Chains A and B, each alone.
Chain A
Amino acid sequence: GEDVEQSLFLSVREGDSSVINCTYTDSSSTYLYWYKQEPGAGLQLLTYIFSNMDMKQDQRLTVLLNKKDKHLSLRIADTQTGDSAIYFCAESFGGGADGLTFGKGTHLIIQP
């Protein structure tokens, strides 16, 4: 079945780079996503990558996809206190319907 795995916590110092990792299982996924959730809020779409791409960069965010190992990572450059949140990796369902399978989320903790 479909499963998305993430580590639960990541602690980094302000100004360093954060790298959040994710593994997925469904090889038919066409898109892979990163969402951010702040306390009391919904999910904010950060970025996404099509499964035929290896890398995507968007300002401070870099997504790397290793399709052979089914490994996805999100790198946040120059991490700031405002980046403190839970980050979710998600893969799209196969087939025609929309829908996502999410990981449990990685809590990003910023040390001053």
Chain B
Amino acid sequence: KAGVTQTPRYLIKTRGQQVTLSCSPISGHRSVSWYQQTPGQGLQFLFEYFSETQRNKGNFPGRFSGRQFSNSRSEMNVSTLELGDSALYLCASSPGGGGKQPQHFGDGTRLSIL
């Protein structure tokens, strides 16, 4: 069974630009969560999608948004990029049907803002 796939692996952008990251969950998983990892703040929850609906959202500004498609693939978008958005962005999937099944992570997209 293929794991969680995130594309691209690396991305370099400049301040003010926007970026879209993609995540394909494990087959059959309907919940996709996104996290930001930085040396200073550690791993922080961004949002979670289940059946194309955002079920939960972390404490991030509105520049961070996401969506989920009918095949459970998810994208996150960051607009008006700032230097502080440089981070490893991790996606995780789980069955999502309740019961708090473990989340399985992809290898992440490393975003660098110049």
Residues of A within 8 A of B (CB): 30-31, 33, 35, 41-45, 48, 88, 90, 92-93, 95-105
Per a CB cutoff under 8 Å, which of A45, A88, A98, A101 touches B100?
A: A98
Shortest distance between the CB of B60 and any CB in chain A (Å): 13
Question: Contacts of B58 on A, CB cut-off 8 Å?
Answer: 99
- By the criterion CB–CB under 8 Å, are A99 and B102 in contact? no
Residues of B within 8 A of A (CB): 4, 6, 31, 33, 35, 42-45, 48, 50, 55-56, 58, 90, 92, 94, 96, 98, 100-108
Question: Would you list the 4 A-B pairs with minimal beta carbon distance, nearest first?
Answer: A97-B56, A97-B55, A102-B43, A43-B105
What is the CA–CA distance of A96 and B98 in the complex, to the nearest angstrom?
Answer: 7
Question: Contacts of B35 on A, CB cut-off 8 Å?
Answer: 100, 102
Task: Give the dominant DSSP class at B's interface.
Answer: strand
Q: A96-B55, A98-B55, A100-B92 are in contact. List 8 more A-B contacts (CB 8 A).
A: A45-B105, A96-B98, A97-B48, A97-B55, A97-B56, A98-B33, A98-B100, A100-B45
Question: Contacts of B45 on A, CB cut-off 8 Å?
Answer: 99-101
Question: Contacts of B44 on A, CB cut-off 8 Å?
Answer: 102
Most buried by A among B50, B56, B106: B56
Query: Whose C-beta in chain A lies nearest to the C-beta of B42?
Result: A104
What is the CA–CA distance of A104 and B45 in the complex, to the nearest angstrom?
Answer: 13
Question: Contacts of A96 on B, CB cut-off 8 Å?
Answer: 55, 98
Known contacts being A92-B100, A96-B98, A102-B42, is A43 close to B55, with CB within 8 Å?
Answer: no
Shortest distance between the CB of A107 and any CB in chain B (Å): 12
- By the criterion CB–CB under 8 Å, are A42 and B100 in contact? no
What is the CA–CA distance of A35 and B43 in the complex, to the nearest angstrom?
Answer: 12
Known contacts being A42-B90, A97-B55, A97-B56, is A48 close to B105, with CB within 8 Å?
Answer: no
